[in-house]
Homo-oligomer: A and B are copies of this chain.
Amino acid sequence: MVSLQVTFQPSGKRLLVEPGHTVLEAAHAAGIQLRAECGGKGLCGKCKVQVSGYEGYTEEEMEFFSQNELARGFRLACQAIVDKNLTVYIPEGSLARKQRILVEGVTRKIVLAPNVKKIFLKLPEPSLEDNRTDVERLRDSVEYDIGSVSLEALNQIPVAMRDSRFEVTLVLLGNELVGCERGDTSNRCFGVAFDVGTTTVVGYLMDLNTGEQRAVKARMNPQISYGDDVISRINFAQSPENLERLRKSLQDCLMGIVTELSDAAGLRRGEVYELVVAGNACMQHLLLGISPRSLAVSPYIPVVKEALSFPSTLYGKRMYVLPMIAGFVGADTVADIIAHPLDNHLRLLIDIGTNCEVVLGTADRVLACSTAAGPAFEGTHIKYGMRAAPGAIERVEINDDVTVHTIDDEPPQGIAGSGLISVTAELLRHGIINRAGKLQPGEEFSSRMRNDSFVLDGTVAITQKDLREIQLAKGAIFAAQRILLKTYGVTVEELEEICLAGAFGNYIPKEAAKDIGLIFDLPTEKIKSIGNAAGVGATLCLLSVKEREKAQAISETVEYVELSSRKDFQQEFMDAMFFPHSNLDLFPLVRERLSRTSTYFRQESSPLATK
């Protein structure tokens, strides 16, 4: 078969591909990360490219481009087939951009008890009188019972011993001898904890002797090219070849982060001895090459939920993978709980990502559930939605005019999840939308309406359809909270704290979130952002095997509530689609504040009065 040449501009990258591949596939092969939130199905329209001399277009492309644009060669990369040598121009907006990634989290003090130990030994040299084997010599020289000896260690032992006058440092993982190094290297002992998210992967390089964090590096999850949410990826992973593609891309990402971290901290090769991974169920399945198919269909079960500790190297490193609670309450939630252990205060923990996990409980009893918030808060399904990258609107103030605040103060390019909450709350406060979410601007804002959209700045607007997406998302998230409280048998008054975890949770404007009814109406001081709790939890598990025992206990004892089997979920969902809720009694503080600060809500026909 003749290979065809594809040239990408403005980067100038070139590669040969076989005919029949899509331009999107060619871009991936060239290492160019195009946006493809729908997984390359022609549905999201994010992978726009300009192809010179290309003819023909699909029905999907007609949806996204005007005749003029089509004539100018605009195409969707996922639809355009390479059938001759092509030059492809990629607009900036079609590239998966570098995002603001949350790496910080609130951590807590623990006693160091890492799974990796290094022991320096000065061994007696062998003689005809003392002709113990090398391994016997090692076993006899440490106080502590060495179990099995890995093949890697066996390969290192004779060389290390004889090259350094029988002064060696043992590397133990649990009670397994996994390495033997020349001389005294006991002060060099590192591990990396990973928070593997659907969108981002964060790695924390830890010094296992001191517990200090030595470096943090984050990357976009490269699987984004194959679909934006877990469901797209599960669909993509149906064939063994695609499953392997997803596995490989995530492996490369993790290993790349390990290299970056090592370089940043000046480590030599091989000084990272263990990796600890916390991710949602789908990510963990994909990382291990396990088909995630069963996660996507009822009854939504994972293949495995217990902690996995591979006795041999995986991808060249020892790896511990945290246990999960259920198919959609993954190890990331376990890590959240590890980071913020439940005590005797009744606490609600909400981790909003593409999926939203909600945990409720005390040290005695814990419930957890998951709900598909959808990717609205991550920018997809929203006309001008985007991830939290420079130029994303993250806060909106509406007074006489509309003021937008963007990340890094760059010119507005779209709306981040936090911006969506902020703008919705502002629209509500001014009565530009009603409690049912309908755009109904009064005269003073009518000039900002364009078709079914409310213009925020220049070309960036929020549409009626966007508002429906937000209602669906927040409705599901709030209904999940309600069901958990009901199942637990407690009222909102008994709730002592709400913790918002995760990248998005950290940036949520708290007042606005209450105003629109995303979370319960607690006093703001009782609502805490706890940052990247999953990363903190993974780090704690790297630093101490005791924390791993806790993780296993959490995985086994947390009661999973399957919302899809709850008959009352639909009603709760419907009620929660109102802003803030159909039952305003649930939001006394919001009602009080809005009546006080909002002209609109002081009107006689205040919607606050009616249901």
Contact = CB atoms under 8 A, between A and B. Distances in A.
Interface of A: 126-128, 130-136, 148-149, 151, 154-155, 157-159, 162, 288-291, 293-294, 298-306, 308-312, 314, 326-327, 562, 564-565
Contact of A151 (B126, B136, B149, B289): B289
Given A131-B299, A301-B134, A304-B135, A158 B562 contact: no
Nearest to A294: B158
B148 A311 contact: yes
B565 A303 contact: no
Given A128-B298, A128-B565, A312-B311, A303 B151 contact: no
A294 B125 CA distance: 12
B299 A126 contact: yes
A294 B158 CA distance: 8
Given A151-B288, A151-B289, A157-B290, 15 more contacts: A126-B299, A126-B301, A127-B299, A128-B299, A132-B301, A133-B305, A133-B306, A134-B303, A148-B311, A151-B314, A154-B290, A154-B304, A155-B291, A157-B304, A310-B312
Contacts of A308: 149, 154
A125 to B, nearest CB: 10
Q: Which of A128, A158, A310 has the most CB of B within 10 A?
A: A158
A300 B131 contact: yes
Q: 7 tightest A-B contacts by CB?
A: A312-B312, A311-B311, A135-B304, A131-B299, A134-B303, A128-B299, A158-B291
B310 A151 contact: yes
A151 B247 CA distance: 13
A84 to B, nearest CB: 37
Contacts of A312: 310-312
Nearest to A152: B289
Contacts of A300: 131
Nearest to A562: B128
A135 B301 CA distance: 10
A304 to B, nearest CB: 4
B135 A294 contact: no
A157 B127 contact: no
A304 B148 contact: no
A131 B327 CA distance: 10
A306 B153 CA distance: 14
Contact of A158 (B128, B151, B290, B309): B290
Contact of A133 (B154, B162, B301): B301
Number of copies: 2
A134 B304 contact: yes
A81 B309 CA distance: 51
14 contacts: A126-B294, A127-B299, A128-B565, A131-B327, A131-B562, A132-B301, A133-B305, A134-B301, A135-B305, A154-B288, A157-B290, A158-B290, A310-B312, A312-B312
B162 A303 contact: no
Nearest to A319: B151
B294 A128 contact: no
A306 B135 contact: yes
Nearest to A131: B299
A151 B288 CA distance: 7
Nearest to A159: B291
Contacts of A136: 305
A33 to B, nearest CB: 27
B157 A303 contact: yes
A306 B139 CA distance: 12
Nearest to A148: B311
A303 B158 contact: yes
Contacts of A289: 151, 155
Nearest to A314: B151
A130 B290 CA distance: 21
A291 B326 CA distance: 47
Contacts of A304: 133-135, 149, 154, 157
A298 B129 CA distance: 11
A362 to B, nearest CB: 25
Contacts of A293: 158, 162
Contact of A155 (B148, B290, B310): B290
A301 B131 contact: yes
Contacts of A155: 288-291
A289 B557 CA distance: 45
Contacts of A564: 128
Contacts of A299: 126-128, 130-131
